[in-house]
Amino acid sequence: MSVEDAVKRQAILIIDDTRENLTVIGQLLQPYYQVRVANSGRRALKAVVNPPVPALILLDVMMPEMDGYQVIAELQADPRTCDIPVIFVTAMDADEDEERGLALGAVDYIAKPIKPAILLARVRTHLELKQARDWLADQNSYLEGEVRRRMAENELIKDVSLHSLALLAEKRDNETGNHLHRTQAYIEALMERLRDHPRFAAELADTAQRQRIAKAAPLHDIGKVGIADAILLKPGKLTVEEFEIMKTHAAIGADTISEAINHVSSRAGSQPANSPLAFLETARQIAGGHHEKWDGSGYPSRLAGNAIPVAARLMALADVFDALISRRHYKEAFPLEQAVSIITEGRGKHFDPDIVDAFLALMDEFVQIAKRYADHPEEPF
């Protein structure tokens, strides 16, 4: 449909307290448009929201009870009518009158007595402009929706790819994907609990940052892909030498993700805070730091206290708790009470004290998460 055809189908509302003016202007516009009339400002404000909603309003200024300036102020204040263009048609032709009308939001100002050709030309021009604005608004809405859809698709692809990569590491360790689900859910619960805590607000108050940590959590053991099967899958206790090799998975994971960061940064340059680099940095912190201990006795870097990234401190507790309550190829599951006791004993030694306190406060929720993602129907507890 052409702009010309669309304009011809538009409705116009004429507001004037004089019957003769309504008749003259109405007859002039009737052959081209759907004409509606109102003989007062109050009636016009009630009528304007009823179908057919006008695409343009011709408004007299000098009316009793409610003048044109008051009418346009009401129209501009109402979200339903603020986008309808208004042309003042009035005998008040002083410059200050025109300036006042335009300042209030009118798109044009036509002096009486009207000249038919000028009125028709102005009406047509502003209807075409509105048609173009509406079209652009629709296009912008469509494009914004398309961008959101594409971003959602990309995010889904990223999530699936990352989860598949993380699951690959778990499969090599004879684990199920439920370990990833459980630890991720534990971390989400801890972050929700700690997001307003004075020590953690700077890191966890931001929703986007919490989401990055949760999505990066499944990559914590990605470095296990670099550990030989003879050690990774050994059914019995590892020797001292074998355990030293097993411990390198944290550094392997961190180094691998660091290489990815360097690759992305070399291709894309500087990136915003919510970029892939921010996500990869969070994943690197978790992979490299989730075996560090609060007292500095962990590995691979023997970091201590707040030097350990928050994401890694959260992962440390979630990973140990899940390892304790889960059956592994080299051990049976610990009873819940014993697992909680071990975590509590590690407060201020292995784990951040405030994270342990949050864990204890969330004990019922942790149990529900463990049951929801249990590896076996009879486990845990």
- Note down pLDDT in tens along the chain; length 381 residues: 444 554 557 899 999 999 999 999 999 999 999 999 999 999 999 999 999 999 999 999 989 889 999 999 999 999 999 999 999 998 876 677 778 888 888 999 888 888 999 999 999 999 999 888 888 888 888 888 888 888 777 776 666 666 666 666 666 665 556 888 999 999 999 999 999 999 999 999 999 999 999 999 989 998 988 899 899 888 888 999 999 999 999 999 999 889 888 877 776 555 555 566 888 899 999 999 999 999 999 999 999 999 999 999 999 999 999 999 998 777 888 999 999 999 999 999 999 999 999 999 999 999 999 999 988 766 655
Task: Collapse the DSSP code of 299 into the 3-class scheme (helix H, G, I; strand E, B; otherwise coil) and give the result.
Answer: coil
CA distance 198 to 196: 6
Which long-range contacts does 235-243 make (Cβ < 8 Å, 24+ apart)? Answer: 235/329, 235/330, 236/330, 237/330
113 prior amide bond cis, ω within 30: yes
Structural domains in the chain, CATH included, are 3-141 (3.40.50.2300), 173-372 (1.10.3210.10)
Joined together, the tokens standing for residue 267 give 């291709």
CA distance 239 to 250: 18
CA distance 107 to 89: 11
Nearest to 372 by CA among 212, 233, 188, 222: 188
CA distance 327 to 214: 24
Q: What pLDDT was estimated at residue 254?
A: 93
Q: Are the CB atoms for 278 and 253 separated by under 8 Å?
A: no
CA distance 28 to 35: 10
Q: Residue 313 contacts by C-beta under 8 Å, 6 or more apart in sequence?
A: 289, 292, 294, 351, 352, 355
Give just the sign of the alpha carbon dihedral 33, 39, 42, 43: negative
Angle formed by the axes of helices 353-361 and 363-372, nearest 10°: 70
Would you tell me how many other CB atoms lie within 10 Å of the CB of residue 151? 10
Query: How does DSSP classify residue 15?
Result: E
Query: How does DSSP classify residue 28?
Result: H
Joined together, the tokens standing for residue 201 give 């607000």
pTM above 0.85, yes or no: no
CA distance 215 to 158: 10
Give just the sign of the alpha carbon dihedral 268, 271, 275, 278: positive
Q: How far is CA 53 from the centre of its chain?
A: 34
Q: Residue 190 contacts by C-beta under 8 Å, 6 or more apart in sequence?
A: 314, 317, 318, 355, 358, 359, 362
CA distance 313 to 292: 8
